[in-house]
């Protein structure tokens, strides 16, 4: 049984058990019965979490997934069972549920609607994030498309739509800051022809596609794709080329072995040799490379992904987690200035995989379109 199905069934069992606990004391959904259901729901969810952890090791995202389903499945289902029970027991009589009880049970259904919206609506609302970034070393405008964190186990219409949005912007350059796929070696080999098609489509439109490795893809697979298509893979290397009539340098990082913000010393040495007036972009999967970067390092713009914009962001609060040490306002996605240097963080095209809930809320998937202009 798959992990998602296992915890979904568990959340249904929790809902039925919580309803049964309240029914034993009071067959009608009185306020005490509703309170007993909520109390039982909490503790049964804790028990379910422990059972899932025993039967299958849970990572952080697995724990979040179990708790998420407790809110968007168990709670609404318990409320629905109470409503149905009250309707059956009071049907044909002149009695009815108290308005407060009725309102509380209706309120308990709302998380199901939010869960549906976050799981089945927002993840497909692909958009473009258009940003104008002013840089001193730009000789003439350059348009850059950023396709980050597809993080997909298969190429479908969503991923093809992302490529189409990038191509439609007529970019001079496409940057891919890692996490191109999230799949087992066998699944990767099956989807490899589709990944080749995607890169070739981008190359046909722009001639310049530059990639770095992320957390879920790997250097070997990316190097094979680069060799087959002509895309550029940078692993602690720099790439210099004429783009839109201007020489630019792109420095590409691999993931650090030490602190999240560390950059390989060999790459730093290469960057230090770049003239100060040369337009230089640092391409990294994680945005933390913007932290602690010495002022003498001649980097004009850092482009990264990784955070998914938090994937879940609440109004007025922003992303709940970003797994990055850059300021939350920067990790939330878009263009910002961190420690005096321009940083663009893409909210990504795809979703966190593995044991994570497949949700987005307050953070739509996006393709970044950057207009680099002189200033």
Per-residue pLDDT tens for 225-235?
999 999 999 99
301 and 286 together in one domain:
yes
Residues counted in the chain: 375
Sign of CA dihedral 289, 294, 295, 299: negative
Q: What is the pLDDT of residue 208?
A: 96
* CA–CA separation, 360 and 297 (whole Å): 36
* Regions of the chain short of the pLDDT cut 50: none
What is residue 1's predicted lDDT score, i.e. its pLDDT?
Answer: 65
Do residues 196 and 159 both lie within one domain? yes
Q: Are residues 231 and 191 in the same domain?
A: yes
Specify whether 161 is located in the same domain as 94: no
Nearest to 72 by CA among 14, 16, 130, 113: 113
* 56 and 158 co-located in one domain: no
Strands 173-176 and 142-146: parallel
Q: In whole angstroms, what is the distance from residue 307 CA to residue 39 CA?
A: 35
Write down the pTM of the prediction: 0.94
Residue 311: which CATH number? 3.60.21.10
For residues 142 and 62, membership in a common domain is answered with no
Residue 157 sits in which domain range? Answer: 127-374
Give the pLDDT of residue 256. Answer: 81
CB under 8 A, 24+ apart: contacts of 83-89: 83/29, 85/19, 85/23, 85/27, 85/28, 85/29, 86/28, 86/29, 89/27, 89/28
- Same structural domain for residues 327 and 282? yes
What is the pLDDT at residue 92? 65
pLDDT attached to residue 94: 61
* Per-residue pLDDT, 102: 82
Instruction: Judge if 241 and 357 occupy the same domain.
Output: yes
Among residues 81, 96, 120, which one ends one of the domains? 120
HSE-up (13 A, CA, CB side) for residue 24: 8
Query: In total, how many domains does the chain have?
Result: 2
Residues 241 and 361 in one domain: yes
Which residues, in sequence order, are CB contacts of 297 under 8 Å at separation 6+? Answer: 268, 271, 272
**Of 120, 137, 164, which residue sits at a domain end?**
120
- pLDDT score recorded for residue 101: 80
Task: Say if residue 134 is in the same domain as residue 281.
Answer: yes
Domain-ending residue, one of 120, 135, 168: 120
Distance CA 330, CA 334 (A): 7
334, two tokens: 């878009």
């Amino acid at each position: 049984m798959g992990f998602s199905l296992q915890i979904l069934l568990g959340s249904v069992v929790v809902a039925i058990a919580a309803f049964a606990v309240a029914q034993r004391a009071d067959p009608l959904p009185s306020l005490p019965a509703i309170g007993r259901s909520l109390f039982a729901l909490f503790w049964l969810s804790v028990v379910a979490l422990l059972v899932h952890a025993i039967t299958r090791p849970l990572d952080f995202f697995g724990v979040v997934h179990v708790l998420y389903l407790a809110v968007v499945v168990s709670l609404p289902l318990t409320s629905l069972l109470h409503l149905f029970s009250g309707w059956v027991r009071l049907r044909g009589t002149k009695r009815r549920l108290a308005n407060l009880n009725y309102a509380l049970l209706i309120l308990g259904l709302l998380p199901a609607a939010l869960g549906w919206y976050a799981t089945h609506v927002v993840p497909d609302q692909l958009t473009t994030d258009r940003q104008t970034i002013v840089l001193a070393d730009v000789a003439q405008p350059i348009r850059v498309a950023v396709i980050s964190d597809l993080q997909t186990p298969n190429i479908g219409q969503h991923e093809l739509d992302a490529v189409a949005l990038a191509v439609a912007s007529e970019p001079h350059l496409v940057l891919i800051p890692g996490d191109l796929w999230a799949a087992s070696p066998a699944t990767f080999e099956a989807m490899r022809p589709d990944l080749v098609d995607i890169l070739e489509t981008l190359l046909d439109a722009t001639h310049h596609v530059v990639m770095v490795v992320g957390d879920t893809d790997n250097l070997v697979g990316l190097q094979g794709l680069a060799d087959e298509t002509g895309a550029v893979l940078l692993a602690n290397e720099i790439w210099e080329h004429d783009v839109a009539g201007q020489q630019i340098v792109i420095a590409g990082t691999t993931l650090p072995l030490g602190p999240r913000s560390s950059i390989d010393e060999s790459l730093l040495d290469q960057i230090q040799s770049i003239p100060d007036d040369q337009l230089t972009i640092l391409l990294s999967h994680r945005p933390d490379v913007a932290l602690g970067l010495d002022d003498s390092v001649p980097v004009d713009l850092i482009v990264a992904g990784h955070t998914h914009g938090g994937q879940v962001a609440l109004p007025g609060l922003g992303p709940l987690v970003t797994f990055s040490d850059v300021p939350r306002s920067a990790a939330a996605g878009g263009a910002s200035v961190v420690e005096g240097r321009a940083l663009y963080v893409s909210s990504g095209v795809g979703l966190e995989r593995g044991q994570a809930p497949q949700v987005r809320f307050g953070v739509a998937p996006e393709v970044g379109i950057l207009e680099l202009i002189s200033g």
